Structure 1
């Protein structure tokens, strides 16, 4: 019982800590607690129904109710609502592909531009591309590295996020080799959902299977770095991380294949795989005196 109580205490503290930066985002975007609570209830029930069914048995309202702590009536309502189309008055509608697919396709085009010598100049750098050159121009780049995404749609997307620009002579020049939306919160908020979910899923895997099948999860951190040293570290971290990510990208690109067609029983399983790196900083916590130390030294 004592171990269980300790685990719950640690878990509650961990959840409170991860919610703080999330709630800063939600409050900044004017999401009320009522709206957050509704999402939390819905996802709690979805996870209970989809991921925690007893092996060999169908998911049930009763089991989801027990696991989530919600009433059977509430679980039933949430399950029914999950099958209904959702319409919010005044909500923005993003046409076309889901954000994750759009993100992946655009990232592949930018990576291809950086890596593929067909689209480089004599010095080996990504060159501005003629939008009308079907052999070695922008259209060829998109067809080679994005699958069947329309060339015009890809150009509009890369212009929108600030990854490319038009030159004075009408060519398309690479401006940012990373797919990071430059304006507006929509895509950045979608990346919040993707990247944080991936990190939490890795931590969950390591809690369950870390002893025999760990996934890489490391960070480097010091508690009292002088503020004047940070610009140099930001530059060092960005350049080293970019170099590593480009090496990993080359390996993944060499092993990437098309997804099997629906019903194809011959193809082996495909997995979404990646490795993420992120930078963080916050004010250092003040050190408190150690009452057990007669010298008054800080702990």
Structure 2
């Protein structure tokens, strides 16, 4: 990327954030105010305004898909006794849970068939031998959809950084931020710990999703937001250590 291209993208970002997040209450955001806040010439502001969606807006492909998947993973009508998402018939028969019922329980703006076609194309679901729709793991962990991955990268990293900054600045750290870490391990043990921690983390996140999905149904709504995330890193350390130093089996837990 050339420097002039980078500078133009930076101008767009400055204008985008200022336009959507620094407007005065009950007043229309003007080119002059955006120019004043950003230091970008008013003619450039006029050209760049409207170049992109608000930076904090959830992409449509994320919001709709995640809401439906979250309901599938949380609602007792769509999971078995162990909390595993059930294979769903296309339409309801004798009042049983169905894919159409799942989609319509979240939104009436989308046709269930359109959602199914999109998900089959994105390999989020598959059709089993009984013509039922089966949720695949990739629906919970997007791997190929660049827009989805970039959205969650920005959201999760931003929230983690914000919580960390608050914890550093506050006398009484307000947010939970802890880690368990061990160094100097064999690759076999590191991979084993990764698999075990992944299992526990997924169980916790699924349980939180189930609780939150039930709670929001009776919530009056407001401006607050909640995010609980987990990260796991396993590395041989070669890219993180500047020189060859003796490794020890050290362990501990960090609490901010």
Q: Would the TM-score normalized by the shorter structure come out above 0.5?
A: yes
Q: Deviations over 1:76-117 (max 9, x none)?
A: 34422332457xxxxxxxxxxx76343233233223333333
Structure 1 contact 181–187 (Cα < 8 Å) conserved: yes
2:88 maps to which residue? 129
Could you list the runs of 5+ residues in structure 2 that have no partner in the other structure? Answer: 246-256
The answer to whether the 8 A contact 2:61-2:148 is kept is no
* 2:225 pairs with 1:239: no
Q: 1:199 to 1:42 in 2, by over 3 A?
A: farther
Whether contact under 8 Å (1:45, 1:78) holds in the other structure is: no
Q: What is the deviation of 1:235?
A: 0.9
- Specify the alignment match of 2:248 in structure 1: none
Q: Which position in structure 2 is the counterpart of 1:42?
A: 12
* Structure-1-length-normalised TM-score: 0.61
Quote the Cα distance in structure 2 between the aligned partners of 1:50 and 1:110. 29
2:253 corresponds to which residue?
A: none
Q: CA deviation at 1:164?
A: 1.3
1 CA distance for matches of 2:64 and 2:35? 41
CA contact (8 A) 2:87 2:134 kept: yes
- Aligned partners of 2:21 and 2:58: how far apart in 1? 24
Return the structure number with greater relative CO, CA threshold 8 A, min gap 6: 2
Secondary structure, counterpart of 1:252 in structure 2: helix
Q: Determine the structure 2 residue equivalent to 1:255.
A: 215
Change (3 A) 1:140 1:54: closer
Question: What is the DSSP-based 3-state SS (H/G/I as helix, E as strand, rest coil) of the residue aligned with 1:118?
Answer: coil
1:272 and 2:232 aligned = no
In structure 2, relative to structure 1, the CA distance for the partners of 1:63 and 1:124 (3 Å cut) is: closer
TM-score norm. by structure 2 comes to 0.69
